[in-house]
Protein backbone atom coordinates (compact mmCIF):
# COMPACT_ATOMS: atom_id res chain seq x y z
CA UNK A 1 0.00 0.00 0.00
CA UNK A 2 1.22 3.49 -0.82
CA UNK A 3 1.87 6.03 1.95
CA UNK A 4 -0.94 8.27 0.75
CA UNK A 5 -3.46 5.41 0.83
CA UNK A 6 -2.44 4.37 4.33
CA UNK A 7 -2.80 7.96 5.49
CA UNK A 8 -6.31 8.15 4.00
CA UNK A 9 -7.19 4.91 5.72
CA UNK A 10 -6.05 6.31 9.07
CA UNK A 11 -8.00 9.55 8.52
CA UNK A 12 -11.08 7.41 7.79
CA UNK A 13 -10.62 5.41 10.98
CA UNK A 14 -10.28 8.54 13.07
CA UNK A 15 -13.35 10.14 11.49
CA UNK A 16 -15.46 7.60 13.37
CA UNK A 17 -14.56 9.18 16.70
CA UNK A 18 -16.76 11.92 18.09
CA UNK A 19 -14.36 13.49 20.54
CA UNK A 20 -10.80 13.65 21.76
CA UNK A 21 -11.40 11.05 24.42
CA UNK A 22 -12.30 8.35 21.91
CA UNK A 23 -9.29 9.32 19.79
CA UNK A 24 -6.99 9.12 22.80
CA UNK A 25 -8.45 5.80 23.90
CA UNK A 26 -7.78 4.42 20.42
CA UNK A 27 -4.19 5.71 20.48
CA UNK A 28 -3.68 4.21 23.93
CA UNK A 29 -4.90 0.86 22.57
CA UNK A 30 -2.50 1.12 19.64
CA UNK A 31 0.31 1.91 22.07
CA UNK A 32 -0.55 -1.06 24.28
CA UNK A 33 -0.99 -3.66 21.59
CA UNK A 34 1.99 -3.23 19.39
CA UNK A 35 5.29 -4.86 20.22
CA UNK A 36 7.35 -2.24 18.53
CA UNK A 37 11.06 -2.81 18.85
CA UNK A 38 13.41 -5.65 19.74
CA UNK A 39 15.07 -5.15 23.14
CA UNK A 40 18.51 -5.31 21.48
CA UNK A 41 17.65 -2.16 19.50
CA UNK A 42 16.52 -0.27 22.62
CA UNK A 43 19.98 1.16 23.05
CA UNK A 44 21.33 4.66 23.42
CA UNK A 45 22.37 4.92 19.75
CA UNK A 46 18.72 4.57 18.77
CA UNK A 47 17.41 6.88 21.49
CA UNK A 48 15.83 10.22 20.71
CA UNK A 49 15.71 12.22 23.91
CA UNK A 50 12.75 14.50 24.32
CA UNK A 51 12.21 16.62 27.40
CA UNK A 52 8.88 14.87 27.98
CA UNK A 53 9.24 11.31 26.70
CA UNK A 54 11.89 9.09 25.13
CA UNK A 55 11.66 7.50 21.70
CA UNK A 56 13.76 4.64 20.30
CA UNK A 57 13.87 4.21 16.53
CA UNK A 58 15.56 1.54 14.44
CA UNK A 59 15.54 1.31 10.63
CA UNK A 60 16.61 -1.67 8.53
CA UNK A 61 16.78 -2.10 4.80
CA UNK A 62 14.70 -4.94 3.37
CA UNK A 63 15.40 -5.14 -0.37
CA UNK A 64 14.27 -1.78 -1.77
CA UNK A 65 12.26 -0.85 1.33
CA UNK A 66 12.96 0.32 4.88
CA UNK A 67 11.46 -1.42 7.89
CA UNK A 68 11.11 0.74 10.99
CA UNK A 69 10.60 -0.37 14.57
CA UNK A 70 10.26 2.03 17.46
CA UNK A 71 9.19 2.41 21.06
CA UNK A 72 8.56 5.01 23.73
CA UNK A 73 8.28 5.15 27.50
CA UNK A 74 5.00 7.11 27.28
CA UNK A 75 1.91 5.31 26.01
CA UNK A 76 0.41 8.21 24.01
CA UNK A 77 3.73 8.75 22.30
CA UNK A 78 3.92 5.01 21.65
CA UNK A 79 0.43 4.99 20.14
CA UNK A 80 1.34 7.80 17.77
CA UNK A 81 4.55 5.94 16.92
CA UNK A 82 2.39 2.96 15.96
CA UNK A 83 0.55 5.22 13.50
CA UNK A 84 3.81 6.62 12.09
CA UNK A 85 5.29 3.13 11.71
CA UNK A 86 2.17 2.02 9.87
CA UNK A 87 2.64 4.94 7.47
CA UNK A 88 6.39 4.82 6.94
CA UNK A 89 7.54 1.24 7.46
CA UNK A 90 7.92 -1.04 4.44
CA UNK A 91 8.10 1.89 2.04
CA UNK A 92 10.78 2.89 -0.43
CA UNK A 93 13.23 5.64 0.56
CA UNK A 94 11.91 7.89 -2.20
CA UNK A 95 8.28 7.57 -1.06
CA UNK A 96 9.34 8.27 2.52
CA UNK A 97 11.26 11.38 1.52
CA UNK A 98 8.34 12.66 -0.57
CA UNK A 99 5.65 11.90 2.05
CA UNK A 100 3.53 14.78 3.32
CA UNK A 101 2.41 14.92 6.95
CA UNK A 102 -0.90 16.78 6.64
CA UNK A 103 -2.90 13.76 7.85
CA UNK A 104 -1.64 14.29 11.42
CA UNK A 105 -3.58 17.54 11.52
CA UNK A 106 -6.65 15.84 10.07
CA UNK A 107 -6.71 13.22 12.82
CA UNK A 108 -6.39 15.89 15.49
CA UNK A 109 -2.92 15.03 16.74
CA UNK A 110 -1.09 18.12 15.57
CA UNK A 111 -0.28 19.25 19.12
CA UNK A 112 1.64 16.04 19.80
CA UNK A 113 3.81 16.67 16.76
CA UNK A 114 4.60 20.27 17.56
CA UNK A 115 8.35 20.95 17.64
CA UNK A 116 7.90 22.56 21.05
CA UNK A 117 6.22 19.53 22.60
CA UNK A 118 9.63 17.88 23.07
CA UNK A 119 8.26 14.33 23.21
CA UNK A 120 10.68 13.04 20.58
CA UNK A 121 8.08 12.59 17.82
CA UNK A 122 9.23 15.47 15.61
CA UNK A 123 12.80 14.22 15.86
CA UNK A 124 11.50 10.74 15.11
CA UNK A 125 9.98 11.85 11.81
CA UNK A 126 13.17 13.73 11.01
CA UNK A 127 15.19 10.58 11.74
CA UNK A 128 12.86 8.45 9.59
CA UNK A 129 13.52 10.84 6.71
CA UNK A 130 17.26 10.76 7.45
CA UNK A 131 17.22 6.96 7.25
CA UNK A 132 15.43 7.25 3.91
CA UNK A 133 17.97 9.77 2.63
CA UNK A 134 20.87 7.59 3.75
CA UNK A 135 19.42 4.41 2.19
CA UNK A 136 18.51 6.33 -0.94
CA UNK A 137 22.08 7.51 -1.42
CA UNK A 138 23.43 4.07 -0.68
CA UNK A 139 21.01 2.33 -3.04
Partner 1 sequence: MLDIQKIRADFPILQQKVNGKPLVYFDNGATSQKPQVVIDAISKYYQEINANIHRGVHTLSQLATDAYEIARGKVQNHINAKHAHEVLFTSGTTFGINLVANGFASILKPGDEVIVSHLEHHSNIVPWQMLCEKTGATLKVIPMNENGELVMAEYDKLLSDKTKIVTVNHISNALGTINPIKYMIDKAHEVGAAILIDGAQSVPHLKPDVQALDCDFYAFSGHKMCGPTGTGILYGKEAWLNKLPPYQGGGEMIKEVTFEKTTYAELPHKFEAGTPHIAGGIVLGTAIDYLNEVGFENIQQQELELLAYATERLSEIEGLRIYGNSEAKTSVISFNIEGIHPYDIGSIIDKLGIAVRTGHHCAQPIMNFFGIPGTIRASFSFYNTKEEIDALVDAVKKAQLMLS
Note the residues at the interface with partner 1 (CB under 8 A). 20-21, 24-25, 28, 51-54, 73-77, 112, 118-119
Q: Pairing between strand 47-49 and 65-72? A: unpaired
For the bound state, the minimum distance from the C-beta of residue 112 to partner 1, rounded and expressed in Å, comes to 7
Terminal Cα distance for the chain, rounded: 21
Q: By C-beta, is 94 or 110 nearer to partner 1?
A: 110
Q: By C-beta, is 59 or 120 nearer to partner 1?
A: 120
Of 51, 62, 63, 100, catalytic: 51
For the bound state, the minimum distance from the C-beta of residue 76 to partner 1, rounded and expressed in Å, comes to 5
Longest dimension (CA), the chain: 45
Q: By C-beta, is 79 or 93 nearer to partner 1?
A: 79
Q: By C-beta, is 27 or 99 nearer to partner 1?
A: 27
Cα-Cα-Cα-Cα torsion 118, 122, 128, 133, nearest 10 degrees, comes to -120
CA distances from 80 to 12, 137, 138 (A): 16, 28, 29
13/105 Cα distance (integer angstroms): 14
For the bound state, the minimum distance from the C-beta of residue 106 to partner 1, rounded and expressed in Å, comes to 18
51 is catalytic: yes
CA angle 82, 83, 84 (to 5 degrees): 95
Query: Does residue 124 contact residue 49 with C-beta atoms inside 8 Å?
Result: no
Catalytic residue positions, numbered: 51
Amino acid sequence: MKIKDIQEEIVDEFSMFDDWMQRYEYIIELGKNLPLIKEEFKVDENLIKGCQSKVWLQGEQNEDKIVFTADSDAILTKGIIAILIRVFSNQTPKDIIDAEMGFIDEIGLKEHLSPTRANGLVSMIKNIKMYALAFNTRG
